[in-house]
Every structure is written in structure tokens, then in C-alpha cells.
Amino acid sequence: MDKKLFMNHVSTLFFRTSSKEIKPGTRFKQLREWNILLAVSFVEMVKEEYQVELNKKDFLYNDTIEDLYRCVCNRQ
């Protein structure tokens, strides 16, 4: 799975946060824009693009976008 493409998909979910702020090491929970609706959008994007289902624990136990990327990679 291409990390650059994944990051591009992730950055399109954010409206207020600059794409320059969305990097693999970004702690997504610390972004002002992060909320339950964005989390649901993230889950749906991953399901649609990568045929992988993320769950609540994935968001609880991972801190960065790269952590979520690895989660998706491990389930493909």
C-alpha cells in the first residue's frame, strides 16, 4: 500500500486543517478539527479505499496517522 496515497486520502477528510499539517507523525487526536464525525469519515474512507475495517480500539491505542496506516497495512 502506498503511504503517499494514503496520506492524500487522509488529508482530503480535513477541511480546516492544512494538508501541510497532515503528516505521518501527526497526532490526529490533537488536531482541533478531530471529532467523532471525522473519525467515522476516516473509517468509511479506509473501508472504501482499502477494504479494511477499523474499530474503536484502533483509534484508542494509536496516536499518529502513521500508526493508523500500519494498522491498515497489517490487515490487508
54: exposed, middle or buried (C-beta count within 10 Å: 0-12, 13-18, 19+)? Answer: buried
Inside any domain, residue 37: yes
Cα-based distances in Å from 51 to 9, 18, 23, 37, 56: 14, 27, 22, 20, 17
Residue 1 has pLDDT above 90, yes or no: no
CATH number at residue 50: 1.10.1200.10
pLDDT at 43: 98
pLDDT in tens, 45-69: 999 999 999 999 999 999 999 999 9
Inside any domain, residue 39: yes
* Euclidean distance between CA atoms 38 and 20, whole angstroms: 18
Domain count of the fold of the chain? 1
Q: What whole-number percentage of the chain has pLDDT above 70?
A: 100
> Which residues constitute the domain of residue 51?
3-12+24-75
Residue 74 has pLDDT above 90, yes or no: yes
